[in-house]
Amino acid sequence: MVKFKNTEDKISIYKLNTPEEILKYYKNWSANNNYEKDLEDWNYHAPLLSCQFFTSQKIDQNSLILDAGCGTGLVGKILKDKGYNNVEGLDFSNEMLDLIPYDIYKKAYQADLNKKLQIPDNFYDHALCVGTFTYGHVRAKAFDEFHRILKNSSYFVFSINEGVFKSYGFDKAISKFEENKKWSVISLEKKIYIEKKDIEAYYVLVKIMK
């Protein structure tokens, strides 16, 4: 039987519930780039592991890729180093977007993943969503929008904080999408997320079906 660990007390932002509270927190956290400093100190593994799952599929480097919840560009930097130059970033916080190095993304813009996105159907070739499926952030209903904006046979990689995997209904949502033939689950693995906070995450790789 799978055990689910409550990680809500590990990081203070996990205790926030409203979009306003979260945006204020990120505004303060991004000051002097303390966000990246903290994540480095905590040994935040999610960007690297997620990119490893993504690139394992031998994806064309010219593909149009969405880094959803891109923050300061940690995933984008890794993808760029691997030769992916056609990547766009999206994040909820403008202050975080302001910290992205100018040459990481083709473009980066503000949007709320809990709402309908101003993106055409079948627009992106592939997507990653790393670090946003967590306490008080993006809910499983966002899967519908990812399915809409991604093309058939797109690869989609995302991480889910172990503390919300079951309590927020991600486990059921993933299964329901597979049952309804909206995607096929290629891999779902539990691995280290934030090492020094003793938090793991589920790393999920799916292939979109339409």
Q: What is the pLDDT of residues 137-191, one digit of tens each?
A: 899 999 999 999 999 999 999 999 999 999 999 999 999 999 999 999 999 999 9
Q: Which domain holds residue 42?
A: 12-208
Domain-embedded: residue 128 = yes
**Residue 1, pLDDT score:** 40
Closest CA to 63 of 117, 149, 124: 124
Whole-number Cα distances in Å, 38 to 33, 42, 50: 9, 6, 19
CATH for 133: 3.40.50.150
Higher per-residue confidence, 20 vs 115: 115
Domain-embedded: residue 40 = yes
**Residue 37, pLDDT score:** 79
Q: Distance (Å, rounded) from C-alpha 197 to C-alpha 4?
A: 16
Domain-embedded: residue 47 = yes
Range 83-94 burial, b when 16+ CB lie within 10 A, else e? ebeebbbbbbbe
pLDDT at 87 over 80: yes
- pTM, to two decimals: 0.91
Domain-embedded: residue 1 = no
Domain-embedded: residue 139 = yes
When computed from its CA atoms, the radius of gyration of the chain, rounded to whole angstroms, is 16
> Is the dihedral angle over the CA atoms 181, 187, 190, 196 positive or is it negative?
negative
Q: How many independent structural domains does the chain possess?
A: 1
Domain-embedded: residue 7 = no
**Residue 42, pLDDT score:** 79
- Residue for token pair 């904006």: 149
The per-residue pLDDT of the chain, averaged, comes to: 89
Domain-embedded: residue 33 = yes
**Residue 200, pLDDT score:** 94
* Residue 2 pLDDT grade (very low, low, confident, very high; cuts 50, 70, 90): very low
Residues 25, 96: contact at Cβ < 8 Å?
no
Over residues 69-90, the mean pLDDT reads 96
Higher per-residue confidence, 24 vs 156: 156
Domain-embedded: residue 96 = yes
Quote helix, strand, coil % in the chain, to nearest 5: 35, 25, 40
Question: How is residue 150 annotated by DSSP?
Answer: B
